[in-house]
Amino acid sequence: MKLTLLALLFTLGITNLYAQTVNRWYQDGKIIFELSNKIEKFKTINGFVPIQNSPFGNILLSDYKIKSIKPLHPKINDQKLSRTYEIEFEEFSLVENLIDWIKQNINIVYVEKKELHESFLTPNDTYFSSSFSNGQWGLYQINAPQAWDISTGDANVVVAVTDNAIQINHPDLVNKVVAGRDVVDNDNDPSPCGGNSGFHGSHVSGIVGAETNNNQGIASIGYNVSIMPIKIGNCSTGALTGGYDGIIWAVDNGADAVNMSWGGGGVSTYGQNVCDYAWNNGVILVAAAGNDGTSQQFYPAAYNNVISVASTTSGDSKSSFSQYGSWIDVAAPGSQILSCNEGTSYQFTQGTSMASPMVAGLVGLMISHAPSATPQDIINCLLSSADNIDGANPSYSGLLGAGRINAESALICLNSFTYSLDAGITQIFSPDGQVCSANVTPQFELKNYGSQTLTSATISYQYDNGATQTINWNGSLTQGSFETVSLPSQTLGTGNHSLNITCTSTNGSSDQNNTNDLQSTNFEIIPNGQSVTVEITTDCFGSEVQWNISDQTNNNIITSGGPYPDISGGDTYQSNVCLASGCYNFTITDDYGDGMYGSQWNSCSVDGSYSIYENNGNVLASIQATNSDYGNQEINNFCITSNLSYDVGISQIISPSSTICSGSVQAEVELFNYGSQTISSVDLTYNYGGGNSSTSYNGNIQPGSSVIITLPTYNGSTGPETFSITTSNPNGNQDQNTLNDNMTSNYYLYDSYVSLPFTENFESNSFNSNNWYTTNADNDITWEIVTVVGTSPGNKATKIDFFNYSDGDERDGFQTPPLDFGPYSNIQLTFEHAFRRYNQESRDSLAILISTDCGSSFQYLGSYAEDGTGTLATAYTSTVEFVPTAADWCTGTVGADCFTIDLNAFSGISGVIIKFESVNNGIAGNNLFIDNINISGVNIGAPNASFSAQNSICIGESIQFTDNSSGTINSWNWDFGDGNFSSNPNPSYQYSSPGIYTVQLTVSNVNGTDTEFQTITVNDLPNVSLTSPILQVCNTDNAFNITGSPAGGNYSGPGVNGSSFNPSIAAIGANTITYDYTDNNGCSGSSQITIIVDDCANIKENQLNSVALYPNPSKGTFTFSKITDGSRVEVYSIDGKCIYNKLISNQDSWISINDAESGIYNVKLKLSNSEKNFKLIISTY
């Protein structure tokens, strides 16, 4: 259970330290031992060693009441840790007896009690971070985490919040409030009402004492202190009419301190008397100074016996709105403060109203830590321990009280009421991280937390859990003072190391508080590494900036920095880090999303930058974005070369990795020259999993450069494999740095595809039986096979333990071997699931993904999360760890049904992988179970080719081919018999010439091919003609016959009846006559002629009657017997086209028609309203 388990862990680490019944520094009832590698590991079932597989007999189990035996790290790639076991037993007092028995009866490397560790307390609340823009920066500013390491408060200490109203049902307040009061309406309900929203009081209450370390929302300075909610505002407008009544009620009902985030400019004796009443009864009053930004005194803050609180912002500057003056007692963060709203969520706001509860909550924490201290003692330590902030406020020096509160120092100040002898190790400065030298000189900070001046202490230290060494420290440290202490230098070997430093025997006596005596550090010795400097110059908004350096091989973060203070004009910060030869990613982020482009804002005139450089000044990386505007993130790559001559290593294994869907594997690796000499040869020893092989690289690798090499192919069979490769003998010399010579890669080899149906019921109790490939990026909780009820067949299912999995955004998966969807259609995935939400905020989900490229990439098929409407859950929400009953599966009646996913879009594809992936939201969650996975399809069989089409067509027509093949077809190949082809399933085609063609259709699917042939005849069109003996007639002429060939066709057009043309019923002018003919193949042709019909019936006798045209026939030149001025001559061809049109006079004796062809022409002679037509025969022969 995420919420409860984490709370339990922190409780064991802090609150119940003094509850250990046997040894304060070791966990009761737990023993650790490492099994010798000379004997086999104990077999396990579901993560535990069954009794029958353990060396403990029933009598021994009964004597010590042994509850369980389990391997702590069964899957880790470390010989020692993978053989380490934990025994949990109930007879705590017999721990030494059990240890002795194990030493005598089991072949072990060691056996010991399990340690109980302590560290600075950082709550797991969602918004607890140092970010100014989206976190709780104020708690970091006042050293709240360090203070919580001293005390997390006492629920019996009560801080009253007198305010407009308080939403006591807010999820971060509901468990923290004690009985309260509405002093306005005289009832016991301080909740919002009417026009009184209660936002202000809810926000203030959250700052004082919101539930902390509860896996949601925010943390509060008061941590475990209780809140007494007192409503002093009326319901109609929220006006604060009951302030002093609220103070009195709080004093009379057991409050230890009262917060008053309200006030005004009015002053009264009554008000002072109320404050005196509280003080005289031992209650500490804390009040907001006011938000006018002036030095005017506000009340009750300015009354005697009240702590008046001003507000500060990031960097300890005075908030622009805050009051100031000599009457201020202390300051606290009050700008951009995140806390509870009046509903169930959270909101930022600001004001001295937010600074005051920060102080009131700290007062409650101080009272918890030193219950014997008087109120004056509490106030004295509160003020004397504050940090001086005059340097950040030169215009307000001495006007912000004692300074900005420091929670850690305030609690240390009170140690005089708790411990007189209390020395501690606050931190180890060095060695830390990666160290570029084999010689280390540790430095740490020794601090006196006790009230008595520290003059001596014994310092013990231990490298790698080896022999303990000691030094005696002597000096003089008053309470709260500290000193940097150095230990003797020591030379260590290359690799990872640990160092523990412990402080004991303060002033020759026992230290009265052991919680701060021990500090540890882990570091790595890289004797040939390079020391580099990361230099960050911020713009004005340093709190938005963070960065890290990670190695490119494994993406492990080596070092990080930020956020930084918000400083006008920016500032420069340097971090030194030792890096081994290799390549790295520098990632810098900005919370706001504007990079370090500060000058774009009116309030800032500078831009930030960064650079990474070596000791010799060589710049390895620097900011890339113009104006430093890199948005949310910039990633810069750089490499470190060695200071050695010969240093060649493997920088990455490109392949094999993950899954390989072929029996043949060919590795690709990158060789990097980290040394200073050009490399021409290097030996390579590699192993795909079937034994070592050797080869050599010969070429040219310049210093700081790399090459990609391909190794010989390996033929393997389905199963998990590990590929390893080692370099040696660069240029025939010994490699001077072997740390980067070797690299391994785990992969799963699949030498064939799996046919459908693919089923999994997990009854084999192993993912390997069906060759599932699992992914577990964080090597933490992942999918496991467990025993459950409610599924059939059997009693096994796979489970993801969201209940105990607290790491957010982690994805764990199990994926099928490559499946052959090729010969199947109607493919679908079904599975059964059981899921219950922990609470309404739980957002854990299940994703189903598919890959068609052997797992190189995946696409979503579906993503399922519960939204309260039955979208994933199959049981009702509960904070009890979910173990399903038969009714709790998707086959039951509650929530989501079982899912069916259509996969038919991937039919015909071979090598398909389906992945089930859990997505952990990181807040309280509950378990998810999956069983009875079934991927099925219908085998489509071999194809049967068939098609239909017309078997006879005419040239010029298109023929439609229709595929009638059976079986699931995935390719079509049409051969039209004339050298042309198509892959269209149903093509339309037009042949270019007549003939007889053989058409061939070949269809294919994964099960084979089939072909069908058909003959198509393409017929030529008939040769059709139409002739007429006369092409120009008068409408007064008799009918005559026209002739169409071949005979048997149809005549159409004006004046046509069968094959007869009658000019009297035709149209005056040009008449188009058509002859259509269709042959026995159904092919058609046509021919047309034009017959001109003149309106001879309406020609009147006129002066043109006596005019004759001659010669006729002629060769294109003719004249008239009489020509009158103004006459017009028009000449028309037989098809009605005018080829001559001209006015003539008696001067024109001859008319010539140039280039006229032989034929019959119609000549019209027009004069006024008279017209005469002539038939002219032109013969050019």
Joined together, the tokens standing for residue 329 give: 């007692």
Q: Please provide the distance, in angstroms rounded to a whole number, between the alpha carbons at the two ends of the chain.
A: 117
Distances (CA, A) of 530 to 443, 769, 1004: 21, 48, 62
3-state secondary structure 1028-1049: CCCCEEECCCCCEECEEECCCC
Instruction: At 19, list the tokens.
Output: 């509850």
Cβ contacts of 1098 within 8 Å, gap of 6 or more: none
Could you say which DSSP state residue 644 is in? S
- Please state, in angstroms and rounded to a whole number, the distance separating the CA atoms of residues 617 and 599: 28
* Block residue for tokens 């010399």: 733
Nearest-angstrom CA–CA distance, 744 and 753: 26
Which sign does the torsion angle of CA 667, 670, 673, 679 carry? Answer: positive
Alpha-carbon gap, residue 1031 to 612, rounded angstroms: 101
Of 129, 191, 353, 842, which residue is the catalytic one? Answer: 353
Q: Exposure string (b/e) for 503-525, b if CB count within 10 Å is 16 or more?
A: bebbbeeebbbbbbbbbebebbb
Unique residue bearing structure tokens 């940090």: 387
Clarify whether 170 is annotated catalytic. Answer: no
Strand partners, 725: 686, 743
d(CA 259, CA 205): 9
* Residue 163 annotated among the catalytic residues of the structure: yes
Residue tagged active-site, from 200, 369, 497, 833: 200
Contact indicator for 247, 275 with CB cutoff of 8 Å = yes
Which two three-digit tokens encode residue 155? 């629920």
Antiparallel, parallel or unpaired: β 1040-1041 and 1056-1057: unpaired
Give the angle subtended at the CA of 534 by the CAs of 532 and 535, to the nearest 5°.
135
For β-strands 947-948 and 1069-1078, DSSP reports them as unpaired
| H-helix or E-strand spanning residue 1022 | none
Q: List, in sequence order, every beta strand (DSSP E) within 478-602.
A: 482-486, 490-491, 495-504, 518-525, 530-537, 545-551, 557-561, 572-579, 582-590
Please tell me what DSSP assigns to residue 265: S
Selection from 289, 356, 347 nearest residue 321 by Cα:
289
Task: Establish whether 200 is a catalytic residue.
Answer: yes
SS (H, E, C) 772-841: CEEEECCCCCCCEEEECCCCCCCCEEEEECHHHCCCCCEEEEEECCCEECCCEEEEEEEEEEEECCCCCC
Nearest to 1049 by CA among 1018, 1072, 1081, 1026: 1026
Catalytic residue, candidates 28, 149, 154, 163:
163
Residues classed as catalytic: 163, 200, 353
